[in-house]
Amino acid sequence: MKSENQDKTKLYLPLITQEDFYRNELWSSVAMLVPAVLKNGRKRKDSDKYILDTFNILNRIDYCLNTINRAKTFISRRPSIKDLDNNAQMTVIDYYYYHYDVVIHKLSTIRDLSYKLINVVFRLGINDRNCGWDSILKKKNEIALPGIMNLQQLYYKLLERIEFERNESTHSGNIDLSFMREIDLLVSMSQMIRLKLVPMDEWDPMAKGSYNEYRLRKCKKELIKIIERYRDMSISFVHILACCLGGVFRKNLSEDSKVEFEQNLKNADNWINKHEKKNNKLVYLLDWLIHLDDIAKKYSDLEIKVGKKAFEYFE
């Protein structure tokens, strides 16, 4: 029987699509300003650089999210086993692990880019090469938004297991998903038999219609589910962060830029207002995250999920 406290340990992040990410205040403002900056053809001023640097980091985050989506698509629509044998010299599991490896590295990259985004938007002046969590933490008084700091810690908690897997892959060349261990051996044996690398031809553990073939399909579905969950967590994280940095970006724009690009900013406001209700709820979530430290101390087994229940906190 579950205790009362066990139910309270679940934190639901809102389920956000990548299209939502393009509608927050930060992305909308920057996206409306960049074409105007690039069109004027003048020598770049510091105010122009602020806009372009912010967009550059947002664009790289978007690239990482797209890469995760592509990895999921590649796994969903993998080449035939014959093509993998003859053209890639890899098994189906090797193919799955290759794309999963891309995913776990991009998740860490998103975290690192979030530090750079905070640095640029707040004009903290941290050297790009040294811009990590420790350097951001030293500037917390200048940031003066506790929710953003707690949001970073929340994402770090989400990445704990992924970071371990990434380090194993990077430093040990090893990716190990427990639900794939046995089927990996069977798939490897099947390939060796097909390529006549072992003196066996009367038995194929992965024969079409076999139970092991069914297990392989099940592993693929499980892997896709994991990648979707990681993707949803990352989109939620960067969208909430961008929602809360939007006001800071507007505030830190130079007065010259506000005057020169007044119409562009008005266009951005019109776009943002269409999606105001949903974005505001995400900002409320960040306000709630200010109390994350207390919750984490009280409930050491804090369970974080992504789903519709996120907005129940604000009803």
Angle at the Cα of 50 from the Cα atoms of 153 and 144, rounded to 5 degrees: 35
Q: What pLDDT is attached to residue 88?
A: 66
Q: What is the pTM of this model?
A: 0.80
**Locus of tokens 């940031």:** 143
Grouping H, G, I as helix, E, B as strand and the rest as coil, residue 13 is strand
Which tokens belong to 181?
């261990």
What are the percentages of helix, strand and coil residues in the chain, rounded to 5? 75, 5, 20
Contact 298, 4 (CB under 8 A): no
Amino acid occupying residue 10: K
Q: Residue 275 class from Cβ within 10 Å (0-12 exposed, 13-18 middle, 19+ buried)?
A: middle
Q: What pLDDT is attached to residue 315?
A: 30
Grouping H, G, I as helix, E, B as strand and the rest as coil, residue 303 is strand
Q: Enumerate residues 6+ apart whose C-beta is below 8 A from 273.
A: none
Grouping H, G, I as helix, E, B as strand and the rest as coil, residue 209 is coil
* DSSP string computed for 193-207: HHTT-SS--S--TT-
Q: For the segment 266-280, what is each residue's pLDDT rounded down to a tens digit? A: 888 888 777 665 555
With CA atoms as reference, report the closest residue to 133 among 110, 154, 112: 112
Contacts by residues 121-130 (CB-CB < 8 Å, ≥ 24 positions apart): 121/26, 121/54, 121/245, 121/248, 121/249, 121/252, 122/248, 122/252, 123/50, 123/252
With CA atoms as reference, report the closest residue to 288 among 11, 5, 3: 11
Expressed in angstroms, the distance from the first to the final Cα of the chain is 28
Q: What pLDDT is attached to residue 313?
A: 34
Contacts by residues 3-8 (CB-CB < 8 Å, ≥ 24 positions apart): 5/299, 8/299
Q: Which residues of the chain have pLDDT under 50?
A: 1-8, 290, 295-300, 302, 308-315
With CA atoms as reference, report the closest residue to 110 among 149, 44, 163: 163
List the chain domain ranges: 4-314
Which tokens belong to 172?
């040990």
